[in-house]
Structure 1
Amino acid sequence: MGMPVRIDDSLYEQAKTEAQIERRTIAGQIEFWAMVGRAALDNPDLPVTFVADSLASLSEPRDDLTPFVPRSKAN
């Protein structure tokens, strides 16, 4: 369920710009930033860029993936 929230105009404009680049909705961009911030606070030893990239990878399609097979099990 969505909930209307008031945010600063400059934050809205930043989210709008970034959402277009990342092909997300404005609400989706703000939700992504919130998830990154929350995960970064929960994992202060990890770089924020690693956290953001890891979360972004979760939304990528999984249809064309090749499973990882360790070399020790490939033979």
Structure 2
Amino acid sequence: MSKAIKLSESLINDAVINGKAQHRSAPKQIEYWARMGKIVDENPDLPSTFIKGILTGIEENKAGDISDYKFG
């Protein structure tokens, strides 16, 4: 379900710039920020880079891009 919401011009401009750098549309960039913000807010003890790594790992697993980890 999608809904129209009002956002500040500066947030939209930041989303356009950051989205282009990460190959996302402005709406997708704002969705990404919201998702990351929610996860970081729910897990204040975890660094955002760790959270990004977990999310990347989940998507790699879904895509079948996995291998056994060898300890030592």
Q: Same fold (TM over 0.5)?
A: yes
Alignment of 1:1-75 (within 5 A): 1-55=1-55, 57=56, 58-59=58-59, 62=63, 65-71=65-71
TM-score, scaled relative to structure 1: 0.74
With over 3 angstroms needed to count, the CA separation of the structure-2 counterparts of 1:62 and 1:26, relative to structure 1, is same
Instruction: Please identify runs of 4+ aligned residues in structure 1 that moved more than 4 A.
Output: 58-61
Q: Superposition RMSD on alpha carbons, in Å?
A: 2.4
Give the aligned length. 70
Q: If you compute each CA radius of gyration, which structure gives the higher value, 1 or 2?
A: 1
What is the CA-CA distance between 1:66 and the residue it aligns to? Answer: 4.1
Equivalent position amino acid for 2:14 in 1: Q
Q: Which runs of 5 or more residues in structure 2 are unaligned?
A: none
